Amino acid sequence: MEKEVLFDITHLQKYFPIRKGFLKKHVGDVKAVDDVSVTVYKNETLGIVGESGCGKTTFGKSIMLLDTPTGGEVLFHDRDGAKDITKMNAQEQLHFRKRVQMVFQDPYNALNPLKKIIESFEGPLKLHGIKDKAEREEIMREVLRVVNTNPDYLYRYPHEFSGGQRQRLCIARALEVGPEVLVCDEPVSALDVSIQAQVLNLMKKIQRERKLTYLFIAHDLSVVQYMSDRIMVMYLGHVMEIADSRALYDHPAHPYTEALLSAIPVPVRGAKKKRIILEGDVASPINKPPGCVFHTRCRKCMERCKQEVPVMREIAPGHRVACHLYDGAETVTEPKGEEQTE
């Protein structure tokens, strides 16, 4: 099956300026996302994984235009051609938001505590042009049915619900406007273990039924692997490796991916594998190390790594890695999304 491109992201960059003093002088940048290039295909789940501060949340927010990117290009492919989301006008943006929605990490704060569920649900519908009250009601009941939730919940306040129920409500609200893409930022990490599985399975079911595309952001590689077709590993605002979910687990190419995989505790007794303990901590996103951003903690660090930023290379079909260990492989600097559409 030919894969249809949905997002074409090239050299995405998001810096947060640090300003000091009364006149807010620019004294530096938090380089949350430095250089991310990736293609998102229709109907797939792209998992984005990394530790805190790797820029995965900022990446998600940049895609949603909650944080305006400071560089790069995010092409969104629509029926009427591709458009850079950073250059959209207000009308186009509103339309974009109808097609791309987000589920947030913290279900406890994602519903306005002073509003009944129905009030939180109606706002977006009104905004997106559904003027008829009966029609709105119909949509709200439908999305609540999709997330297996009682329609009577509409008339209650958020504090009456548990975390799992709230996250269902949040997913339902995101679905209201009929999006094709859901950016999910750690959707289950605030939930209890037994509830996580419920929500994950629900999200899979919704994806099947509604043919959604997911950008699934999480720190827990086991969860990401369960959900995703492809996984992108990030570290300090850079992409380390992109591969099919299975390939990433079976043949991790980047030393960071290896360490990340080995650090995850597996709930199987005696499954103890050789653990790679990473020394030290993540470097500061304000003063990043030169060369490869991971070289300060890398056990395979070479002289080159300290000076030269490695480029993305394709080491197997669909398997890209940014590491000097693979300098011999074919070089791919730009994702080839553009050519795959007609």
Partner 1 sequence: MDKKQITSSLWKRNLRKFFNNRLAVLGFVIMAVILFCCIAAPLLTEYLPNAINLKELTRAPESGHIFGTDKQGRDVFARVLYGGRTSIMIGVVSSLMGSLIGVVLGAIAGYFGGLIDSLLVRLSEIFSTFPQLILILVLVSIIGPGVFSLIVIFGVTGWMTTFRMIRTEFITLREETYVQVARAFGMSKSSIIFSEILPNAFSPVIAATTINVAGFILSEAGLSFIGLGVPSGTPTWGNILNAAKGIDVITNFWWLWLIPGIVLSLFILGVNFVGDGLRDVLDPKQL
Partner 2 sequence: MEENTILRVRKLNTSFKTEDGIIPIVKDVDFDVKRGSILAIVGESGCGKSVTMNSICRLLGKNAEIQAEAIDYMQQEADGSIRTVHMKDLTNTSKEMRALRGKEISMIFQDPMSSLNPVYKVGRQVMEALLQHNKMSKQEAMARVIEMFKQLGIPDPENRVNNYPFEFSGGMKQRVVIAIAMINNPQLLIADEPTTALDVTIQAQIMELMVRLKEEQQKTIILITHNMGLVAETADEVAVMYMGRVVETGSADQIFANPAHPYTSALMQSVPVLGAMEEGKELATIPGQTPNPKDVTDGCEFANRCDKCMECCKTGLVGNHEIEPGHFVRCHLYRKS
150 binds, options partner 1, partner 2, none, Cβ within 5 to 8 A by partner type:
none
87 binds, options partner 1, partner 2, none, Cβ within 5 to 8 A by partner type:
none
Contacts of residue 307, defined as CB under 8 A and 6 or more positions apart, other chains included, come to 290, 291
**Site residues (CB under 8 A) for partner 2, limited to 191-210:** 192-198, 200-201, 204
For 234-291, the DSSP string reads EETTEEEEEEEHHHHHHS--SHHHHHHHHHSPPSSTT------PPPS-PPPSSSPPSS
Q: How far apart are CA 58 and CA 208, in angstroms?
A: 27
The angle subtended at Cα 240 by Cα 312 and Cα 250, nearest 5°, is 100
Amino acid in the structure at residue 257: T
Q: Is 262 in the site for partner 2 (CB under 8 A)?
A: yes
Q: How far apart are CA 123 and CA 130, in angstroms?
A: 10
Q: Which of 11, 42, 116, 304 binds partner 1 (CB under 8 A)?
A: 116
The helix or strand, by DSSP H or E, that contains position 3, with its residue range, turns out to be none
* End-to-end CA separation in angstroms for the chain: 14
**Closest separation between CB of residue 88 and partner 1, Å?**
11
Token pair recorded at residue 52: 């805190």
CA nearest 175: which of 226, 223, 140, 149?
Answer: 140
| Per-position x/- string for 155-194, each x denoting binding to partner 2 as judged by CB under 8 A, each - no binding | -------x-xx--------------------------xxx
Residue span binding partner 2 (CB under 8 A) among the ranges 14-22, 119-127, 176-184, 221-229: 221-229
Q: For residue 252, how far is the Cα from the chain centroid?
A: 20
167 binds, options partner 2, partner 1, none, Cβ within 5 to 8 A by partner type:
none
| DSSP-derived 3-state class of residue 319 | strand
282 binds, options partner 1, partner 2, none, Cβ within 5 to 8 A by partner type:
partner 2
**Closest separation between CB of residue 58 and partner 1, Å?**
13
Q: Which of 37, 45, 62, 101 binds partner 1 (CB under 8 A)?
A: 101
- For partner 1, the binding residues (CB under 8 A) are 19, 22-24, 61, 64, 66, 93-94, 97, 101-102, 104-106, 109-114, 116, 120, 123-124, 127-128, 152, 155-157, 159, 170, 173, 177
- For partner 2, the binding residues (CB under 8 A) are 51-52, 162, 164-165, 192-198, 200-201, 204, 219-223, 225-226, 246, 249-250, 259-269, 271-272, 275, 277-278, 280-282
